């Protein structure tokens, strides 16, 4: 069985159109090491990359 956790981005993980806070990125990092995480966003890839990918830790991205 495959497990994952799903989050909405704007208004849940970050304020609308704002990047993840350092605190949220640090909170997500250990979770990313344990389980697949999906972040749902209505924005296009460049916006998502600025808000989430650029703020995630290198280790979490490479999992």
This prediction's pTM: 0.76
Residues 6+ apart with CB under 8 A from 7: 13, 37, 38, 39, 40
| Dihedral of alpha carbons 19, 36, 23, 11, sign | positive
Q: Cα(41)–Cα(61) distance, rounded to whole angstroms?
A: 18
Query: For the chain, what is the radius of gyration of the CA atoms?
Result: 11
How sure is the predictor about 2, in pLDDT bands with cuts at 50, 70 and 90?
confident
Q: Is the pLDDT of residue 56 over 80?
A: no
24-52: per-residue pLDDT in tens? 999 998 888 899 999 999 989 999 999 99
Question: Facing residues of 5 across strands?
Answer: 37
The domains of the chain, with CATH numbers, are 4-61 (3.40.50.1000)
Q: Considering Cα of 59, then 61, then 62, then 63, what sign does the dihedral take?
A: positive
């Amino acid at each position: 069985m495959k497990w994952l956790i799903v989050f909405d981005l704007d208004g849940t993980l970050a304020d609308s159109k704002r990047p993840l806070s350092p605190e949220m990125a640090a909170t997500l990092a250990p979770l990313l090491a344990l389980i697949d995480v999906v972040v749902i966003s209505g924005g296009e890839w460049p916006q998502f990359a600025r808000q989430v990918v650029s703020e995630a830790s290198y280790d979490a991205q490479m999992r």
